[in-house]
Structure 1
């Protein structure tokens, strides 16, 4: 890219505060163009430090200002590369002087934006650290002090690495920054000699610090601070990566996690540094949303202010632009804390820079775009003032001058002659920053809650004994939270019911700090919990055991459109791929599935989707779990027993899964069909004959789905629809399946095939099985025994699973299973491959088995019953009892059914079921009498 010369890009200039100094510089550089002369004069009239640099580097400066500053900066950075160790200090100091002058003038003249100014200063720090470390390590190697290392190992500093922390790590060094470094070495490179290597690296660290920090006639390069290393009070200046990892795993604190957001290898063995940071990822980025970090950050801010005496109203004189009220650190903490909260789940939020982090948070909905944009503007303005403060005398200061005269100097340095306007604008920006950030950090004040009855007060008083409120921190957080919780619960139709349900939720929580912090940071979740407690105690019980699923509610995409099976499967595949251990993959799958399952339930509860959309979503989710899990189970099995022999195996979804419609409590009906293609056994470390291979593989898949693990189980699995039911093998060969379906299967098994759907397996084998399914339906649907067998089957079902209550929607005459049986019969008789009830009834009408009036009546009743069933399964895992689901549950069902009240719902269900039962009885006929 071609850049214009410095002189052609000027957009602004400081105003000289000291007229005499400005006049001297005008005279000294009078040969330059007028706008450059004014830039230099204004700068010299505000900064004694920059005035002295102009004089010392005058010849270089004249040339630099008529060239592109990017080219000049690159040359200055490259110059020290070729010098020997003895001359490196002087070469780096010259590079520092020139780049300090160039970046200051580019900043003051508006030639470079903030990011290029701070990025250039950071590039110099990187170069200085890397060159110093590599040259000093080379000297240790030359002296034989690093065991097993040769001259070529100096290029990677013998396994030593410098991690840039803070502003250096983010590429945001301010004008007179210290550089914060953590120095480590790769102990694995030295085996038993690691302690000898450590002694050499400690020498390198000390010599490097002196080389960079000592003040000589040429100035200094960077003041270096090594105190961010683990346990700095007792550890040497360079420690092993293993020791650092052990420290962070056992003792790491929130402020150290925040520090590592910006950490970056900047010198020495960069690859080893990247490996170390990758190993530290679980420490920095927690898998669950981490709202406790908010309180930790708040406490840290208060401790800093207490230590430095920075409380109180904003006064311009002496105000600390970094740590004071409304200062730079407020914006950095605001950004970093939200990154810590959510960055474990969303790597796109792990931007090292403050501006980049704010933009990423806004893009994902963690910060409103308008607020993020305003904070970026405030951050840039604060950094410019900070730079002017430091440019005056090259001092590592963040304090505004203590006198009105000093403040006037900074106003002029910022190009403002109206000092009063400068002061007002600065104060306004500080106050605005404080307003935008303080509400996020400061815990809410305890307010008086609503008045309670004696019985309700007794329940609330009992909360103090619950496990979730064992720690003092949890108690303090909950005290702030309780008034809003009670107010939200009072919005329920029946407050007492909602309170009892919430009490059950709270009693089951194993711990509360994280969850209460999450509620404080996201008050809308309180309404959601109150809604769930008032409506669906079953979901509240589930939440108490799996409170981590609430992470998903505020994870940025909870209310986005449903992604569908393919995207869900990719998401689970990626999540499991991120962990190596097989059991951890299974636990990951459970945690992932529960979050999505919870999302469907909440969307249904809140009326964002109806029962049929929920049914499709639950089925999509189950499909995705099977699609992603089957290769993982198969891969683990193949590792021991070799790849699947023959053409492989297909998992068929049966019943409701096959039809693609599940409810909140559905189990999965599955069968497995394999094709050995004449292959007798697998080839692997422990080969198996083909039949036991697929039987054990099937059992491994069932175990993967059903096993109770720390994160619970995925699904219950029912394999009774396989050939010969419980007596048959758990996996069936394709040849046996063909033979059985054509020669032995009963009519009910042919009916089951009308809903069978290949979910995963080799594509060619899936196509073969689907073609055969259609063949069976076509051939077997015309037999004279179909209707008598269906009638007999219906009678047995009615006897075994009668309707037990008025509100039964699934079992009994004219209800879901009865209508599904008729629909399957219609599809079988018509030879139609349709799987869903709607399409199967349509096939029955087209074939003359049903009239169009019958079709509409059956469909209306089925839809009504499905809504009742799907809604009731969200409310409870027992038979629906309107007296037990409470007023919140009744209100949900009435709304879901579009009824005017409970009596209307009852009447419509009763009428619909009776009409459907009459049609089914007429079409199928009575069960044949037994001999």
Structure 2
């Protein structure tokens, strides 16, 4: 269908005679459309007067084809050709808009498309001249490394009719030798200045775009075009929040687009912080308030003279609502890094950061406000966003919109902006501290005051902003701490948390913005000193608490591994992979502890979750470690390497402080060689790969370490190779292994590696465990091992709260249960029940104290949790259950070893 056939609505002519005169050359719906538009808008009337013949020529084309014709530049002076194209683009776009042919987004994208073309056509002649003079190197693309970034509405593809265009001009200095740098820079300055003159100078043919270059780094002292490397240095060292917000919409629009995209990719850490950045919200709000105050927009609301962009309930409030959440969340969620406002609102709803109803309301309001903004600008091509104060002029805006009732138009606008303001004003995620909270009585305690005074001398409160935030938070912190079972102990742990923070603004902003986080932090300090210390050292893990599914079921290994692999796909290099794995693992590790303390999972569920986390971490890291080694030594020879989890990892009974007991098994012939630059035989290759993997897991990077690793359970222990072949493993376990090694193998499980090899290793382990056993020998060996264990910690039996050491405690029970499994006897249910009770105390103790459960250090909330999980009424009853249970378990073990001894081969 032609553009004329698609016309569905018509503006109203405020000056019908003028409209009829200008519409006379046209026929059909186009005549009525021109009559209404030109009869109200002086700007459209002037465009029709100059371009009527051209408009008639393209009226039989499809809208997109007509737009391409409008952008076509004739021969001759680019400045003149661009101004003619601007007239035609403006006329055609306005009519397609007012006639209902194009949507709001069609209009803004078309205007942006023209701006992209205009910028390049304005810059290209200057680049070609400088190349011809030898000042620049053209290369195959003819850009010489010159790149223009579109910022603001142009970057987002959201230009309006009278927008200026915000640009940053850069050049890729890597194209030039140091001796040529000064010459190239001077040439790029001439290119940029010539481009701006072509676009912005007002001639008899008008102008193309008002052009603003002030978004570049430190514009008061930097030239209009700078090297990319210099720009990067500036943003890394001195970039401010408003510049981060501006770069969210940045897009290469002209010149060397590939270099521009690479520059923006390098700037991603500047735009989107790794941790939730609530402090940025306050900065952005302050900026918006300053703009309103400066422009006198903070007063009483009135439709007449209302600024549709910066005023209450205006376009900027919707953009700020979306963009501020991008600043906070974009570092964690890549789906929230879009440029277009409507795209971001949709992504916020899809990720459940706002509800779908609010996203839809703001999206519809945004498009309506942009429509009205366009009508205002169509009147006289003025760079304004303000509804006219004059009823006569505002009637024209309504008429362009097809409305003949000014009062109804004003009511609609009033309801629209009030609705937007109500939907965005709460600004969830801003710092809002309840100043009315009165400090509790404990605030008057001299010991408490000394602690509070010390808070303002810590690294976390080094900046005035952080110090002020903490001062505002103090009454609420003390109120919550005073409600803990042991307020002074909780305060001491909170003090330890603060002392572990290297900086405080982000954390304090987050706490001020989210009262539930404050409650959770106090709970942690009251219940779990070790977890509070962990949080102080790794405050970034608090970010994840705001994820919508944080308190939902803990994910299984497959989901965890998928999540981590997606993160590592975006890691820049091997070192980033190690750091990104550590950050992710710490968040998940902290989450399991929170679930356990909040009674959202039982201890068995927490043990499985810790094991699943370890498996996912190891499995996702292994390919990266292999790829790193392959750079020099090539791909693994043979069928690859399998990682076997032993101990608590293998049995899925890990606690918060468990290390990883591992065995590495590979499947290759001794004479197999890798095919890298430096080939290695299979044994040497896999030994080196094992050491590299252990380093990846244990090395302390800037983000800490992942796990401690213990490989003493491998064949031949410390004396054996760090990686063994599958055939050697089978042979050793069949012919040489000691009883204790077969006992350890009852917990073994392949956790990572090629699927076929994992299956083969699991079969090999099962075959070993199925071998005929001499029950008498197993019982004899177990008795000897048990005697050594009990003798080594004979004092442990005297500690009534000892969990691990001593008769009938965890190590004793585990040894016994493994022996029963080894000879094929079913588990001893009574002993297993005692083990489960001890495991509860151990899991809670490792989260709360990093050691065993210590009732003397436990607050009321933690004791209540333990009593609930163990089904006891008070600590005395629990102590009696433990003592009696340990005695009964020890007796059962003695009798059970007799049963093992009787088990035949």
Is the shorter-chain TM-score for this pair beyond 0.5, marking a shared fold?
yes
Partners of 1:727 and 1:595 lie apart in 2 by 37
- Aligned counterpart in structure 2 of residue 883 of structure 1, from 846, 850, 856: 856
Provide the residue aligned with 1:14 in structure 2: 11
**Deviation string, structure 1 residues 137-170 (Cα, Å, up to 9, x no partner):** 223334x2434437xx5x5322212111110111
Partners of 2:49 and 2:833 lie apart in 1 by 91
CA RMSD in angstroms comes to 2.9
Q: Does 1:535 align with 2:527?
A: yes
> Are the structure 2 counterparts of residues 121 and 684 from structure 1 closer, same or farther at C-alpha, using a change threshold of 3 Å?
closer
**Deviation string, structure 1 residues 713-764 (Cα, Å, up to 9, x no partner):** 2112222222343444444455554444333332221111111112234555
1:29-48 superposed matches below 5 A: 29=23, 36-48=30-42
Provide the residue aligned with 1:242 in structure 2: 229
Q: Does 1:447 align with 2:447?
A: no
User: Please, which moves more after superposition, 722-731 or 209-218?
Assistant: 722-731
Provide the residue aligned with 1:362 in structure 2: 349
Partners of 2:40 and 2:274 lie apart in 1 by 50
Provide the residue aligned with 1:869 in structure 2: 842
1:799-818 superposed matches below 5 A: 799-801=791-793, 802-803=796-797, 805-818=799-812
Partners of 2:873 and 2:403 lie apart in 1 by 69
Partners of 1:510 and 1:504 lie apart in 2 by 12
Q: Does 1:206 align with 2:171?
A: no
User: Please, which moves more after superposition, 802-811 or 118-127?
Assistant: 802-811
Q: Does 1:5 align with 2:2?
A: yes
Q: Is this contact kept in 1: 2:33–2:95, CA < 8 A?
A: yes
Provide the residue aligned with 1:136 in structure 2: 126
Partners of 1:685 and 1:109 lie apart in 2 by 67
1:138 alignment partner, SS class: helix
Residue 177 of structure 1, CA deviation: 0.7
> Are the structure 2 counterparts of residues 461 and 12 from structure 1 closer, same or farther at C-alpha, using a change threshold of 3 Å?
farther
Residue 911 of structure 1, CA deviation: 4.8
1:892 alignment partner, SS class: helix
Provide the residue aligned with 2:155 in structure 1: 169
Residue 632 of structure 1, CA deviation: 3.2
Residue 322 of structure 1, CA deviation: 1.6
1:650 alignment partner, SS class: strand
2:662 alignment partner, SS class: strand
Q: Is this contact kept in 2: 1:871–1:896, CA < 8 A?
A: no
**Deviation string, structure 1 residues 98-119 (Cα, Å, up to 9, x no partner):** 2212222222233221100111
1:677 alignment partner, SS class: coil
Q: Is this contact kept in 1: 2:22–2:45, CA < 8 A?
A: no
Provide the residue aligned with 1:757 in structure 2: 749
TM-score of the pair, normalised by structure 1: 0.90
- Consecutive unaligned residues of structure 2, counting only runs of 5 or more, are none
2:642 alignment partner, SS class: strand
Residue 246 of structure 1, CA deviation: 2.3
> Are the structure 2 counterparts of residues 55 and 646 from structure 1 closer, same or farther at C-alpha, using a change threshold of 3 Å?
closer
> Are the structure 2 counterparts of residues 69 and 683 from structure 1 closer, same or farther at C-alpha, using a change threshold of 3 Å?
closer
Partners of 2:158 and 2:464 lie apart in 1 by 39
Residue 209 of structure 1, CA deviation: 1.8
**Deviation string, structure 1 residues 763-790 (Cα, Å, up to 9, x no partner):** 5544443333223222253443112222
Q: Is this contact kept in 2: 1:502–1:533, CA < 8 A?
A: yes
- Aligned counterpart in structure 1 of residue 371 of structure 2, from 353, 368, 384: 384
Q: Does 1:107 align with 2:101?
A: no
Partners of 1:398 and 1:412 lie apart in 2 by 17
1:668-687 superposed matches below 5 A: 668-674=660-666, 677-679=669-671
Q: Is this contact kept in 1: 2:292–2:311, CA < 8 A?
A: yes
- Consecutive unaligned residues of structure 1, counting only runs of 5 or more, are 831-843
Provide the residue aligned with 2:424 in structure 1: 437
**Deviation string, structure 1 residues 525-584 (Cα, Å, up to 9, x no partner):** 111111111211111110000001112222455345544323433443444454455444
Question: What is the aligned residue count?
Answer: 893
**Deviation string, structure 1 residues 469-510 (Cα, Å, up to 9, x no partner):** 121111222233333333333443343332232122122212
> Are the structure 2 counterparts of residues 199 and 145 from structure 1 closer, same or farther at C-alpha, using a change threshold of 3 Å?
farther
TM-score of the pair, normalised by structure 2: 0.92
Residue 272 of structure 1, CA deviation: 1.8
1:785 alignment partner, SS class: helix
Q: Does 1:123 align with 2:100?
A: no
Q: Does 1:156 align with 2:142?
A: yes
**Deviation string, structure 1 residues 834-883 (Cα, Å, up to 9, x no partner):** xxxxxxxxxx34xxxx6xxx53x334333333223222222111231112
Provide the residue aligned with 2:81 in structure 1: 91
Partners of 1:754 and 1:629 lie apart in 2 by 26
Residue 122 of structure 1, CA deviation: 0.8
Provide the residue aligned with 1:186 in structure 2: 172
User: Please, which moves more after superposition, 96-105 or 441-450?
Assistant: 441-450
Provide the residue aligned with 2:464 in structure 1: 472
Q: Is this contact kept in 1: 2:485–2:859, CA < 8 A?
A: no
Residue 63 of structure 1, CA deviation: 5.0
Q: Is this contact kept in 1: 2:644–2:662, CA < 8 A?
A: yes
Q: Is this contact kept in 1: 2:557–2:613, CA < 8 A?
A: yes
Partners of 1:475 and 1:436 lie apart in 2 by 32
Q: Is this contact kept in 1: 2:776–2:900, CA < 8 A?
A: no
1:721 alignment partner, SS class: coil
Partners of 1:349 and 1:72 lie apart in 2 by 35
1:759 alignment partner, SS class: strand
Partners of 1:416 and 1:895 lie apart in 2 by 68
Q: Is this contact kept in 1: 2:642–2:665, CA < 8 A?
A: yes
Partners of 1:825 and 1:334 lie apart in 2 by 62
2:441 alignment partner, SS class: coil
Residue 33 of structure 1, CA deviation: 6.2
> Are the structure 2 counterparts of residues 632 and 136 from structure 1 closer, same or farther at C-alpha, using a change threshold of 3 Å?
same
Q: Does 1:495 align with 2:487?
A: yes
Residue 885 of structure 1, CA deviation: 1.6
Provide the residue aligned with 2:17 in structure 1: 23
